[in-house]
Structure 1
Amino acid sequence: MTLEELQYPIGKAHIPANISKKNIENWISDIERFPHELEYLVRELSDNQLDTPYRENGWTIRQVIHHCYDSHHNSYTRFKWALTENNPVIKVYYEELWADLDDSKNGPILLTIDALKGLHAKWVYFLRGLSDKDLEKTFIHPSGNEAISLKKNIGIYGWHCQHHYAHIAQLMIRKGWK
């Protein structure tokens, strides 16, 4: 596999210019299922397996799992900012540095999977209650200075769930663990 295939096992996110209600429903469904599918995928992995990088110089499975919580928690907050402020510039978090902290490198994954279940249940409830007008609201990501609509961000995070699930699942297949 090429480095790009290892980095982007399902390809890069492709969010359509015209986002339909069906797109949004599918993405929310992806977000809803993710913690449970992730738990099922990794339930029998040993600590040694959890500490295996999904690619050379990549994060370990453990770090990927903790990253998903960190990223999704930040995203949930960004939704709240977009709905309570006028086109806010969001705060960037340095995911590489967060992934290098002790809780991400060594922490038990079950704590994070349980946290993901709670976060995603609340997030999905929240997302399903958004109006069409709400979905048009935006925030500014300082790295690109582009306004990102909430409906686009739902697509980004539906993809994000599948993207990191594929990192783990493909490593497990390559290693013969699955």
Structure 2
Amino acid sequence: METTDKDLEELKFPIGQFICPDPISKQHIKSWTEVLERFPKHLNALVKPLTDHQLNCEYRPGGWTVRQVIHHLADSHHHSYTRFKWTLTEDAPLIKAYNQDKWADLEDAKHSHISASLLHLEAIHKKLVCLIRNLEESDLNRYFVHPETNRKVYLKENIGIYAWHSQHHYAHIVKALEQKGWITL
């Protein structure tokens, strides 16, 4: 069966793209922070029982493997945490972007065991949630500048982006496993 553009878009964005509410309320921040807090536990429960064969399946044609997605999550969320710290300690920092596709194509992302990335995600999320829960409104309104778009990204928005990012890639993994008939949720 041929994959249509609509099918491919749904495989790329199974929960849709992130749409930032305007304004961002305290309830949004609370809800997103809870997603970030729970995410490592939910991801661990989903992926720890997987075999190497299952970890090496793609979530969409030409896409990353489940293993690469897990390693990408650790890399990306580490960058996010660093961006939070820069933004809280510098005035409107220009962050360093990275090529996520090239990172996902490195040997550690393609072949290493997922346990290190799962531990890293657990640690980085604990630190990030602790940081977020202690931010003042003025902190939430601080921003960094992304070099590829020259756009200001406010910390309160970045919380939502990474809550979405967590759920987005979790859905990729679920879809990959469902398509193979390995799970049904």
Q: Shared topology, TM-score over 0.5?
A: yes
Which of 106, 114, 122 in structure 2 is aligned with 1:117? 122
In the alignment, structure 1 segments of 5+ residues that lack a partner are none
Provide the residue aligned with 2:3 in structure 1: none
Q: Which structure 2 residues correspond to residues 166-177 of structure 1 after superposition, within 5 A? A: 166-177=171-182
Q: Which residue of 2 aligns with 1:59?
A: 64
Count of residues paired in the alignment: 178
Query: Structure 1: how far apart are the matches of 2:65 and 2:152?
Result: 32
Structure 1 runs of 4+ with >2 Å offset: none
AA at the equivalent of 1:25:
K
User: Per-residue displacement from partner, 1:84-137 (whole Å, max 9, x unpaired)?
Assistant: 111111000111111011110011101110111111111101110110000000
- SS of the aligned residue for 2:116 comes to helix
Instruction: State the superposition RMSD in angstroms.
Output: 0.8
Give the residue type in structure 2 aligned to 1:133: S
Which residue number corresponds to residue 130 of structure 1? 135
Give the whole-Å Cα distance in 2 for the aligned partners of 1:53 and 1:112: 18
Residue 22 of structure 1: aligned partner: 27
Q: Secondary structure of the equivalent of 2:69?
A: helix
Q: Distance in 2 between matches of 1:106 and 1:24?
A: 36
Q: Report the CA distance between 1:175 and its aligned residue.
A: 1.1
1:35 aligns with 2:49: no
In the TM superposition, 1:24-103 aligns within 5 A as: 24-103=29-108
Residue by residue over 1:116-163, the C-alpha shift from the partner in whole angstroms, topping out at 9 and shown as x without a partner, is: 111111110111011000000000001111111000000000000000
Percent of aligned positions that are identical: 51
- 2:182 aligned partner, one-letter code: W
